[in-house]
Chain A
Amino acid sequence: NAGVTQTPKFQVLKTGQSMTLQCAQDMNHNSMYWYRQDPGMGLRLIYYSASEGTTDKGEVPNGYNVSRLNKREFSLRLESAAPSQTSVYFCASSEAPLDRRVWPQHFGDGTRLSIL
């Protein structure tokens, strides 16, 4: 099925380890996003990429880095994992921004990450 694909689906890390979460979309969308979901807090934006070649910080960027590898792929890296980064991570994509119009975002199924 067309959509947003995230890998891996589950991961357990030890404190201080590094890891890259992968995301790819096949809808030819220009914009891509990384969120984290924690109980009672909804989804919070970590980083986003409005178009290929650009990335910007969201609400909670500390401890993360991103790479927009090409139009399809947007990866999230944890350089030195901390227990506070235990969460469910979602990647999303959307059409490019157009003036003030806001497009719906399409989400992957998430990566469940535990840091011990």
Chain B
Amino acid sequence: AQSVTQPDIHITVSEGASLELRCNYSYGATPYLFWYVQSPGQGLQLLLKYFSGDTLVQGIKGFEAEFKRSQSSFNLRKPSVHWSDAAEYFCAVGVGGGYNKLIFGAGTRLAVHP
């Protein structure tokens, strides 16, 4: 069965520090992978997606993610975190074949210290 694991429930970083949020997936075929961000009281906003091709994908707000098939991972990174990046981040794997469903991880809550 498809699944997504985000090993870190909470992460705290200092403003200006680099960030890496981990995501591991389980899926039998070539995956479609997504990262979403949720600010308090808001819906989910798409940060970036991986469909195929270049394994390093760029997203909005200065985020990037790298797809590593050998490790079944799709980690999210940002070189320098801003206070406004404090939010909850969700990794998701897409199930196709006519369904277009997303399987979400439990999320990682990011706190940013000034």
Contact = CB atoms under 8 A, between A and B. Distances in A.
Interface of A: 4, 31, 33, 40-45, 48, 50, 58, 90, 92, 94-97, 99-110
Given A104-B34, A107-B44, A108-B43, A96 B100 contact: yes
A90 B45 CA distance: 12
Contact of A104 (B9, B49, B90, B99): B49
Interface in B87-114: 90, 94-102, 104-107
A4 B9 contact: no
Nearest to B31: A102
B70 interface: no
Given A42-B4, A48-B99, A101-B32, 8 more contacts: A40-B9, A43-B102, A94-B100, A96-B100, A97-B99, A101-B51, A105-B100, A107-B44
Contacts of B41: 109-110
A49 B43 CA distance: 20
Shortest beta-carbon contacts, A-B, top 5: A102-B94, A107-B43, A102-B32, A42-B104, A100-B96
Interface of chain A: mostly helix, strand, loop or mixed = loop
Contacts of A96: 100
Nearest to A42: B104
Interface of B: 4, 9, 29, 32, 34, 36, 41-46, 49, 51, 90, 94-102, 104-107
24 contacts: A40-B9, A40-B107, A42-B4, A43-B44, A43-B90, A45-B102, A48-B99, A50-B98, A94-B100, A96-B100, A97-B96, A97-B99, A97-B100, A100-B29, A101-B51, A101-B96, A102-B94, A102-B100, A102-B101, A104-B34, A104-B49, A109-B41, A109-B43, A110-B41
A74 B43 CA distance: 17
A33 B9 CA distance: 25
B43 A43 contact: no
B100 A43 contact: no
A102 B96 contact: yes
Contacts of B46: 104, 106
